[in-house]
Structure 1
Amino acid sequence: MKNVKKNRQSITIGSTTEKMARMSKEEKKPTFFQIICKGFNTEKLTVPRKFLTHVLKELSERAILKLKGSSDYSWTVNVTKTPKGAVRFNGGWQEFLKDNSLGHGDFLVFTYDGKMQFSIDIFDNTACHRIDDKINPNSISSSGDDSVQNLSSSESSEFDESTEEEEDEEDDSCKDSEATCEDNVSEDSEATQTESFKSNFPHFECVIGESVFVPSAFSRKHFPQGKSFEVILKNAKGKKWEVKAYPANGSHFLSKGWPEFASANKIIIDSTCIFELLRANTMMVHIV
């Protein structure tokens, strides 16, 4: 009996060690996230510019998408590169969203497995990890040949550029999904991220991406958790816009109504803005 017990312990320890090793290896893989925003990334998906350093050497005309932890199905999407250097998933992306019943507010984490293959974790708008039970298998291609033909750097910089030249000009509001935000949640502090800006109100500074992702610390302290709600945004002249805030991954992001506010106030991708909370659900937006 003692030998059996020792063997069982040995197997358990070995399995745990292997699992930890796999997790450690997984953590080293590059990742990026996307929040599904209707009208921004439901037609096509822009890969964050900072992430391109991980894929440029292997860039090809198509990519393979899989759900993390599942090898039953895969989706092939076309990859294009615009004259301004943006890399996008086009053909096949809408099918991936449809087949997986993905909608506005869903939060996706892309893990790069190499050779233009991505594993995707899905979190719904309750900020919970979604179990793989919403797949529509009718139009899904099975995961057979996942090989992707690599292009040389010169070829990859040229493919499909001409087809998106006009589109790139029209799509200035959603070229890069990354938004770098920092917060200052102190009620009585005047310390700010920008030397020229001082305020006693809670505020955060954000580099604008496709939408505005509110820092989690700021969201937890000032916004209702796990709920969507309306936010009033004001410009320097006091004009107001109504914007929808959606819960995502323990925080919130501003989406519906944001494009109109950004367009009216000439806010573009990579602009830096300071969001100042004047009172409950009302913020003044300062363009730095």
Structure 2
Amino acid sequence: MAKNRAFGSIQQDKDKASFFKILAYEDLWSESMRFIPHKFKTSVCKNHPLKVILKVVWGRSWTVSLSSFKGSYLMEKKGWEKFLNDNKLGDKEFLTFTNEGNNCLSVSIFKKNCKEMLTPRKTTIISSSSSFSNVKKEEMSDVSPIIAEGSRRGRKEKKERADEEEARKKSKKMKKKADNNNVYEASSSLVPTFSFTIKPSKLIVAAIPQDFANDHMPNETTKFIIHDPNGKPWDVVYYYTEGQKLFSSGWRILARKYGLAVGDFCTFRLIKRREMVLEVIHASQM
């Protein structure tokens, strides 16, 4: 019986082998999460080019390319990411994968409340470029998600503008309260800066404002160093895709050590290409 952080023990149900994965947001695209257990090397992937078809219970399927990895196969990021995004996954869902033959794995999705997903999630959070071509429904069945996406984007942009305005106001307040002995204060006006207020989701991952990311952040997933005002460093992973720019692995630890809580106001100053200083005004101090 083989186990690791990303996938569960391989089980046998008569002639159908199966395994499971538990989706944690900070680990979604890791090699261990995309790894197909050795048991499936010969039973699932018999054809060339190497690929696997992931099929859900409501009939939709995704073709994901494979590459050889440590004696078995690794699902390539592009196809795996599309499967996750199209199904809005990443909130501790439990997935089972069952070998149906012909390079096909049937996927059962269980939400964190233990209920199985039998239909697609209604609220769409994927990009407008996502394809609905695999859904075998009438043409009009695809119109609602597209309209919902446009409406959602409008609301999101409006909310982002309001959040940015709030951040600017709090940033001014933060500068007035800043310690005159802060070693970074002298140069704070000379470096790129962004701010946000801590919400529950930001205690797990920290999304970077799109404008700031486009102007100042690297176009690749890489390691960042975040210092506290006294210079103590923390390593975090800056995760980059076309649709998301955020601090993922390491951020949760930093948030805990900083004592961050909902309502705290955070300001980030980019002092080097991959280094920042984080200053915090706790909600209790406002």
Question: Is the structural similarity TM-score above 0.5?
Answer: no
TM-score (norm. length: structure 2): 0.40
